Amino acid sequence: MKMRYLLASVAVSFGLFALPARAAPNPVAEFRNVQRVAEALQSGRTQDLHTAFAPAMATQVSAEQLATAWTQVSQHGGRLLKVEPLVSDNNKTEQNALLSFERAKFVLQVIWDANGQISGLWLKPYQEPAAVTVDPAVSQQEISFAAPEGPSIQGTIFLPKGVSNPPAIVLVHGSGPQDRYETMGLNRPFLDIANGLAKQGIAVLAYDKRTRTYGKTIDVTTLTIDQESTDDAIAAATWLRDSKQIDPKRVFVLGHSQGGLVLPRILARTPWLRGGIGLAAPGVKLIDVLPHQNEYLLADQVGTPQGQQHMAMIRDGIARIRDSDSKDMSPVFGLPLSYWRSVDAVDPLKELQGVRQPVLFLQGTADFQVTRADWMGLQQLAAKSPARIRFVELPGINHLGLKTEDKRGMDDYKAKRAVAPEVIDAMAAWIKRN
C-alpha cells in the first residue's frame, strides 16, 4: 500500500515504485507474470519493464531509479538464487513471489490494473513466520476493540500473573503496515517489550495496525496520519481503560518511531492518560528525517550519478509536499500528497510543549534512522522541563531497541535477538514512579 520512505526508510521495504509508461512492443503481455518481472529486474531490463507500467504511475521514479533500487537489494542480499510464486488473494490482479538471495529473502509483489498494465510494484523483506513465545509469568488474551471508523482492530493484552489492577501501556507502531509485534525479519520488538514489562507487573496492549489488517481496502486518497496511527491508539487506550483488568487511572502510551512522532498529540487529545514513552521518537517533522536517513543509507553512492539522482528525488518530493501553491496533486513517494501534508502537519516538539502529562524519551546512540539532529530538540526541551520530560540516551542501542552489532544500516537488524534489558528496565522503572 505505501512506500517506506517513512522512519523505516527506503532500505526496509524498497517501497512502491511509480513509473511512467512508454511505448514498446506489447510490454503488457510480456510482463503479465511476476516471474517475468523478477527476471527483468535481475537481468537489468528495467527500461523494458518500465514500458509496462500504467500512465498513472508516471510521476515518481524513472527506470534508472528502479535499477538503483534493485542494485541496493542485490547488495544487501547477494546473488539471486531462486524465484518462487506465492499464493495471492487475487491472482488475476496481484501476484507475489519469494526472491531467495544468498543472504536474505524478499517478497516481490506486482499489481496490474484493468488494462493489464502494472499499477503497483513492491519489494519487501520477507518475514519468516515464527511461534509467539509468552513468558510463563505472563498471561495473554486475544482482544478486539472498536475503531473510530471502519472495522474493529485486533490485538493481544499481556497481563502479569498474580497482580491485580496493574498499570498498563499501549504500544503504538512505527511507520508501515506493522503487525502487533512490530515484526521485522527475525525480531519482534513489541513482543519483547510486552513480555518484559508484564514480567515486571505492567499490563501491555499490542494491536495490529489498521494498514496491516485492512491495507487493501483502505482508501489511500483520503488517508491521514491520524487515521493511520493517532485515532486507533486513542481507541486502544480507551478500551484498555475500560477493560476492568487494569488500573484505569494509570494507563500509559508508548510510541515507537512514527508512533513517537504522534505521541504528543495522543497525550494532548487524551488528557486522562497518565503519561507516555517515546522510543526512537523524532523531535522534528518526519519529512525532515528523510534526507538524513537516505544520505546514510546511500553513503557509498552519494557521489555517484545514481545516488545524486535519488537524493534529488527526495528533495523534489519534499519541496512538492511543502509547496502549498502547487497545482500538481500527483502522488509523492507513491502516496497521495494529502497524506504527506497530514504527516508534515505534525510538529512533535511544538505539540509536546502543550502536553501536561509526564513523558519519557529513550534514544539509542546507534540509531541511524532517527539521528542526533532529529532528536536533539527533545533533549534540550527535557533539560528545560525536567519535572515533566525526561530524556535518556542508551549507549549502543539501535532503532529497534536492540543492542547494536555494529553492522551498517539494515544489516544491524538481521540477527535474531531481544530488545535490550536496559530499555525495558528503564520503561518499567519510569512507569512505576508515575
Output the nine-digit C-alpha cell for 346: 505534525
| Strands of the sheet with 118-125, listed across from one edge | 80-86, 94-101, 105-112, 118-125
Output the nine-digit C-alpha cell for 389: 520530560
Instruction: Find the Cα–Cα–Cα–Cα dihedral 282, 381, 433, 233, rounded to 10°.
Output: -40
The partner residues of 397 in beta bridges, in order of sequence, read 403
> In angstroms, rounded to a whole number, what is the distance separating the alpha carbons of residues 279 and 364?
9
First to last CA, the chain: 39
| Res 87: pLDDT | 60
Q: Does residue 12 carry a pLDDT above 70?
A: no
Q: Is 434 helix (H, G, I), strand (E, B) or coil?
A: coil
Topology given in CATH for the domain delimited by 138-285+346-433: Rossmann fold (3.40.50)
Q: Which residues contact 432 (CB under 8 A, 6 or more apart)?
A: 167, 200, 201, 202
Q: Does residue 6 carry a pLDDT above 60?
A: no
CA 48 vs. chain centroid, Å, equals 31
Q: Does residue 21 carry a pLDDT above 50?
A: no
Q: Does residue 22 carry a pLDDT above 60?
A: no
Q: What is the CA radius of gyration of the chain?
A: 22
| Res 350: pLDDT | 95
Q: Over the chain, what is the mean pLDDT?
A: 85
Task: Dump pLDDT digits (tens) for 204-245.
Answer: 999 999 988 887 778 888 899 999 999 999 999 999 999 999
Q: Is 204 helix (H, G, I), strand (E, B) or coil?
A: strand
Most confident of 1-5, 263-267, 286-290: 263-267
> In angstroms, rounded to a whole number, what is the distance separating the alpha carbons of residues 203 and 166?
6
Q: Which residues contact 145 (CB under 8 A, 6 or more apart)?
A: 152, 153, 155, 207, 235, 236, 238, 239
Task: Dump pLDDT digits (tens) for 43-102.
Answer: 989 888 888 887 766 566 577 778 888 888 888 888 899 888 776 544 456 788 889 998
Please identify, in words, the CATH class of the domain defined by 10-125. alpha beta
| Res 5: pLDDT | 30
Over range 176-200, report the average pLDDT.
92
Which comes out higher in pLDDT, residue 353 or 20?
353
Lowest mean pLDDT among 183-192, 256-265, 323-332: 323-332
Domain positions in the chain: 10-125, 138-285+346-433
Q: Is 254 helix (H, G, I), strand (E, B) or coil?
A: strand
| Res 60: pLDDT | 61
| Res 90: pLDDT | 45
Task: Dump pLDDT digits (tens) for 391-419.
Answer: 999 999 999 999 998 877 777 887 889 99
> In angstroms, rounded to a whole number, what is the distance separating the alpha carbons of residues 404 and 190?
17
DSSP per-residue string spanning 304-371: SHHHHHHHHHHHHHHHHHH-TT------BTTB-HHHHHHHHT--HHHHHTT--S-EEEEEETT-SSS-
Percent share of the chain, pLDDT over 70: 88
Q: Does residue 115 carry a pLDDT above 80?
A: no
| Res 360: pLDDT | 98
Task: Dump pLDDT digits (tens) for 316-344.
Answer: 989 999 998 878 888 888 788 999 999 99
Q: Does residue 254 carry a pLDDT above 80?
A: yes
In the numeric block, the cell 519469494 is attached to 98
| Res 8: pLDDT | 31
φ, ψ of residue 7 in degrees (nearest 5)? -65, -20
| Res 3: pLDDT | 33
Most confident of 7-16, 31-40, 129-138: 31-40
